[in-house]
Amino acid sequence: MSQVGTTKCGNTEFRWGERTYVMGIINLSPDSFSGDGITDLKAALAQAHRLVSEGADILDIGGESTRPGSSPISVDEEVGRVVPVIERLASEISIPLSVDSYKSEVAQKALKAGATIINDQWGLKRDLKLAELAAERGVPLILMSNQRDKGGYDSGIQHDATYYDDLMTEVTSTLENSIQQALKLGVPRENIIVDPGIGFGKSWRQELEIIRRLDELRGLGRPILIGPSRKSFIGMVLDLPAGERMEGTAAAIAIGISKGADIVRVHDVQQMVRVCRLSDAIVRWS
């Protein structure tokens, strides 16, 4: 096992370093960038059960689109999308459920409904109460490095070229700051997971750089989650729409695992589980 140790999540133990864990995506937003958004409860439940049968270790459930340029939705609307699905799934499946939200009001209701992980795409920049909630409930907290508030490429804000002199220094620094804030608010270190934020305020070339230099994040001493699935950098390299980026996603995941990824967040669970298992056999077996 790696020095990162173990994270407990309900009845599940994530033993970091032993294998790569697969997080299946359930988008409950009609304007998902990848075109996989679901607005019907029955369809969402069916997709969740399929992802579990395909080998997902975690389901990440989100109600607000993270597509560049998308409009925020109200807390009530987001709760209305995610809570009914989480309530049903909590009684029907045994793997952990993650709520993908940067709003503490949403996360609080999702945890009450049965979620056991908080996935914060803003790394506590928007709502520090998420850390207080994670500490109070004793659940893992995923912290992402998000550059959309600093003029990132996909933010719609004019980009300042000097800002990106060393992308990984910026990513590492923001994640370290998020970790320290979480610790101060009572989140145990073993419950913190970091995500460099592929697709959140970086150019497509910088997203390639994140995967190439992912091992630099090992110095943070926390498990690393990456979410390259169907992202635009794959489309830029291969000139393919979101629905045709499976092979590119597989390549990014395999290299990410070789550079230290512990969790991969994906749309195509069955195929990426196979990619992870072979990558693990090469990278982790001795």
Q: Where do the domains of the chain lie?
A: 6-283
Q: What is the pLDDT of residue 151?
A: 55
Q: What is the pLDDT of residue 95?
A: 98
pLDDT digit string, tens, across residues 271-281 = 999 999 999 99
Q: What is the pLDDT of residue 52?
A: 98
Q: What is the mean pLDDT of residues 225-233?
A: 96
Residue 104: closest CA among 67, 126, 130: 130
Q: What is the pLDDT of residue 165?
A: 67
Instruction: Name 142's bridge partners.
Output: 119, 193
277 is known as an active-site residue: no
Residue 33: closest CA among 234, 207, 247, 226: 234
Q: What is the pLDDT of residue 4?
A: 86
Q: Are strands 58-62 and 21-27 parallel, antiparallel or unpaired?
A: parallel
265 is known as an active-site residue: yes
Confidence at 159, pLDDT banded by 50, 70, 90: very low
Give pTM, 2 decimals: 0.92
Q: What is the mean pLDDT of residues 42-51?
A: 96
- Across 11-20, 112-121, 144-153, least confident range: 144-153
Q: How many CA atoms lie within 13 Å of 36's alpha carbon, on the beta-carbon side?
A: 20
CATH placement of domain 6-283: 3.20.20.20
Q: What is the mean pLDDT of residues 133-150?
A: 94
Q: Which of 81, 125, 231, 245 is catalytic?
A: 231
Residue 193: closest CA among 131, 255, 137: 131
Tokens 């499976």 belong to which residue?
246
